[in-house]
Structure formats: C-alpha cells, structure tokens
C-alpha cells in the first residue's frame, strides 16, 4: 500500500462546516464522533447538489462502510473544509474518498462505500447509466 501524504488532496466537491462548542469532549478537543458527522454532512450536501447524485423513485443510497483515519486533533472554534471525490463506481455501489481540513492542515481522511437499494425490497439495485454518468463527473485518481 503506498504511503499517504499528510497534506490535503484536491478533491472536487467542497463544503464548509462550523465547529460547535458542544462538539468538544472533556479533553477540550472535538470529539471523534463529530468527524463522522462532518463527513456525512458533506456526502448529504453532495447528494443534494445539482449534478451530484440522484436516486430514482423508490431507490435510496445507504452507507455500507465507513473508515476514518484520525491524523490530528481539532479544537473549537473554527470552520472546516470537508471535501470528497468518487474513487470507484461499481454495479450497485460507489466509493467516496473524503477529507477534513482545518486552517490548511489535513485533520482526517475518510473512505466509504454507499450501496443503491430498492426502498421496498431493501436489496441492492444496479446503478443506471445516468447515475454512473453523474458520479463519473466527480471521479478522482485513488491510489
């Protein structure tokens, strides 16, 4: 596995999230669970973005895996940049690469897989050609 840089990568979709006082833990830094929320907010914004990703009627994308590499601690106050790119498009799933940056420093890296499912049957359905095209626009080179 190639060594990963501790520098931010250029990822095509960017959101900004304010850190909240209530996000701190007793040690005075932002609690680790907040990192998952920041990454989720970024993915949800992406799925609401015109040209982002759209489920068809009766479909929904669900989170199948989430991995977070905690590189540095965060402290309140501040506004983080959370960004993502699509690193893989499969038959019924796709992978995100994400990062959290504060004051130019890479704080955390996230990777996740989302699976497109039929809401009624609760089972995976293939991505349409149109959905694959939407995702392709946000593809990155994932090493």
**pLDDT > 90 in the chain, percent:** 83
In this structure, of 54-58, 69-73, 95-99, 132-136, the range with the lowest mean pLDDT score is: 54-58
Which pLDDT band holds residue 112 (cuts at 50, 70, 90)?
A: very high
Closest CA to 53 of 130, 117, 105, 123: 130
Q: What is the model's pLDDT at position 4?
A: 65
Dihedral sign of CA atoms 67, 73, 77, 83 in order: negative
Which pLDDT band holds residue 54 (cuts at 50, 70, 90)?
A: confident
First to last CA, the chain: 9
Mean pLDDT value across residues 114-124: 96
Mean pLDDT value across residues 11-25: 96
Query: Strand 79-89 vs strand 13-18: parallel, antiparallel, or unpaired?
Result: antiparallel
Q: Say what the pTM is.
A: 0.91
Q: What is the model's pLDDT at position 2?
A: 44
The tokens describing 112, both together, are 């996740």
10, 18, 133 from 139: Cα distances, Å: 12, 27, 10
**pLDDT > 70 in the chain, percent:** 95
Q: What are phi and psi of 32, to 5 degrees?
A: -60, -30
Q: Which residue has the tokens 């993502």?
A: 84
């Amino acid at each position: 596995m190639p060594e990963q840089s501790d520098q931010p990568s250029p990822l095509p979709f960017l959101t900004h999230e304010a850190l909240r006082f209530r996000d701190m833990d007793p040690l005075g830094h932002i609690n680790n669970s907040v990192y998952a929320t920041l990454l989720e907010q970024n993915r949800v914004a992406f799925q609401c973005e015109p040209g982002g990703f759209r489920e068809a009627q009766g479909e929904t994308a669900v989170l199948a895996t989430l991995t977070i590499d905690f590189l540095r601690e965060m402290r309140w106050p501040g506004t983080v940049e959370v960004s993502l790119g699509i690193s893989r498009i499969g038959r019924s799933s796709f992978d995100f690469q994400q990062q959290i940056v504060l004051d130019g420093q890479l704080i955390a890296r996230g990777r996740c897989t989302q699976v497109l499912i039929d809401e009624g049957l609760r089972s995976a359905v293939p991505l349409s050609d149109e959905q694959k095209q939407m995702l392709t626009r946000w593809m990155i080179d994932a090493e």
